Amino acid sequence: MSDLSTNVLTIIAEIYIRPEHQDAVLGAVAACVIASRLEPSNISYDCKRDQNDPQHLVFIEQWESLDALLIHEKTAHFLAMKETFTAGLERPLTVTLLEPCPRMA
């Protein structure tokens, strides 16, 4: 029996929204979060706002594999969100791919 938790890919992504694009970006983010949670290979998908900077959002995602993430990045809801990022972000999106630490998995 394989342990799914050792194969899970965790993503931390951060964005900083331009204030004048906040409504468009937040709407696209909300739609993407809802749809992403329905994807069969998604384990969890959440977006949180920085308490000290309301323009700073942090995504915390878990996927069954890197292949699952790559499929997610081709979905209509992800591409629609990404499109709002073109004009709506103050700086480029940052993404960190995480894996279990040895001896801690």
Report the pLDDT value the prediction gives residue 99, as an integer from 0 to 100. 82
Q: Which residues pair with 53 in a beta bridge?
A: 50
pTM: 0.88
Report the pLDDT value the prediction gives residue 101, as an integer from 0 to 100. 81
For residues 10 and 70, is the Cβ–Cβ distance under 8 A? no
Please tell me the distance from the alpha carbon of residue 6 to that of residue 25, in angstroms, as a whole number.
33
Report the pLDDT value the prediction gives residue 6, as an integer from 0 to 100. 60
Name the DSSP class of 99.
-
Structure-derived torsion over alpha carbons of residues 10, 71, 77, 33, reported in degrees to the nearest 10: -20
* Cβ-Cβ contacts under 8 Å for 33 (sequence gap 6 or more): 45, 46, 47
Q: What is the pLDDT along the chain (105 residues), one digit of tens a residue?
A: 344 556 789 999 999 999 999 999 999 999 999 999 999 999 999 999 999 999 999 999 999 999 999 999 999 999 999 999 999 999 999 999 998 888 775
